[in-house]
Amino acid sequence: MKENSVKDILNKAEEKHSLDKEEIITLLQSGGDELIRAADGVRKKYAGDGIYIRALIEFSNYCTRTCYYCGLRAENNNVQRYRMSPDEIVNTAYAAIDKGLRTIVLQSGEDCAFVMDELCRIVERIKKKDAAVTLSIGEKTYKEYKSLKSAGADRYLLRIETTNKELYQKYHPKMSFENRLRCLEDLRTLGYEVGTGSLIGLEGQTAEMIAEDILFFKKIDADMIGLGVFIPHPDTPLGCTAAGNFDLALNAVAVTRLLLPDINIPATTAMETLRPNGRLLVLSAGANVVMLNAVENSEQKKDYSIYPDKAGVNEGLEESLAALKNSLAKIGREIIVSKGFRYNNRGE
């Protein structure tokens, strides 16, 4: 059987936003500049030229999980653990809103010390201002997700990390793939905008698995997809394995944009960390969102060491905003002040 050429596959993707697994694999492996251009075109048509900025508040680096790749894993004793107080979190959010940001992302390790009630009060206080609230605090029960939604949370990020069950179980000891799927389903049922995504470049991961991830994003009709590239952290069991391939991750972003034309796709910090100017490359390959760290305490930012040498930890929010504006001008894009829901991409 003759394999379809990249050009044919891209034509089909641009027209139908649907591809089969083999076609996705071909693009991931040999899409090249044509793939990047096609994704950039689809982004422009369906999501526009504006860039949404999210203010990221990493409010606790305590974590009960032991994911093999992550520097915050419970078994890593070399981390200086911190937990921001509710007032610190809310004040950091308000300061970001005053600087014109309209989405606050509250992220933490899976920290049991934060009780639901406390989290709900924090969400309620932030929601008194004109901003969307996104949570990224891991696996919770339906009831907990429901309380947070009632408190005003708009969106939730929970990467599936990999849809390959075997690989998932290998890197997430004592966790359950089924429970992660259950979480994503519950979030959707409760009316959150749902973000998920994968880690590209874990040892043992194949292009076929990444293609399956992208088909999964399409199947659940995710509203946001964050694709990170694996960066080894020395204090983890994967500390001596190789980093993920930047170009493969870039291609995965591009294919995701082709198949889910109107969603929000961030240019992730991992991509900027692995390659200088990585963020601009990702924004030119289908992405339309940037998350900026809103915490001003640089010690805390350093201690949120999911992987080493994370980009941007030495800058304050004001500085990162200015730098971003400058670099966006180079690619003819600009920040727009918006809560940046998926439906905003259609001018609704």
Classify 100 as helix, strand or coil. Answer: coil
Instruction: Return the bridge partners of 55, or none.
Output: 104, 292
Nearer to ligand 5AD, 253 or 328 (CB): 253
Does 252 bind ligand 5AD (CB under 6 A)? Our answer is no
Does 194 bind ligand 5AD (CB under 6 A)? Our answer is no
Hey, how many other C-beta atoms are within 10 angstroms of the C-beta on 215? 16
Whole-number minimum distance, CB 269 to ligand 5AD, in Å? Answer: 9
Residues 34-93 that bind ligand 5AD (CB under 6 A): 69-70
Residues 301-330 that bind ligand 5AD (CB under 6 A): 306-307
Nearer to ligand 5AD, 218 or 233 (CB): 233
Hey, how many other C-beta atoms are within 10 angstroms of the C-beta on 139? 17
Classify 191 as helix, strand or coil. Answer: coil
Does 246 bind ligand 5AD (CB under 6 A)? Our answer is no
Binding-site size for ligand 5AD (CB under 6 A) equals 12
Taking each helix axis as running N to C, give the angle between helix 21-30 and helix 6-16, from 0 to 180 degrees, rounded to the nearest 10.
Answer: 120
Spatial separation of the C-alpha atoms in residues 106 and 89, rounded to whole Å: 9
Give the residue from 254, 189, 327 showing the smallest Cα distance to 10.
254
Spatial separation of the C-alpha atoms in residues 255 and 32, rounded to whole Å: 11
Does 177 bind ligand 5AD (CB under 6 A)? Our answer is no
Give the residue from 83, 104, 105, 85 showing the smallest Cα distance to 94.
104
Q: What distance lies between CA 270 and its chain's CA centroid?
A: 10
Whole-number minimum distance, CB 273 to ligand 5AD, in Å? Answer: 8
Whole-number minimum distance, CB 96 to ligand 5AD, in Å? Answer: 19
Nearer to ligand 5AD, 291 or 321 (CB): 291
Whole-number minimum distance, CB 7 to ligand 5AD, in Å? Answer: 33
Whole-number minimum distance, CB 83 to ligand 5AD, in Å? Answer: 17
Does 106 bind ligand 5AD (CB under 6 A)? Our answer is no
Whole-number minimum distance, CB 330 to ligand 5AD, in Å? Answer: 26
Does 109 bind ligand 5AD (CB under 6 A)? Our answer is no
Spatial separation of the C-alpha atoms in residues 242 and 159, rounded to whole Å: 21
Hey, how many other C-beta atoms are within 10 angstroms of the C-beta on 125? 18
Q: What distance lies between CA 233 and its chain's CA centroid?
A: 19
Interacting span for ligand 5AD (CB under 6 A) from 8-16, 52-60, 168-176, 227-235:
227-235
Footprint of ligand 5AD on this chain (CB under 6 A)?
69-70, 159, 161, 199, 228, 230-231, 233, 270, 306-307
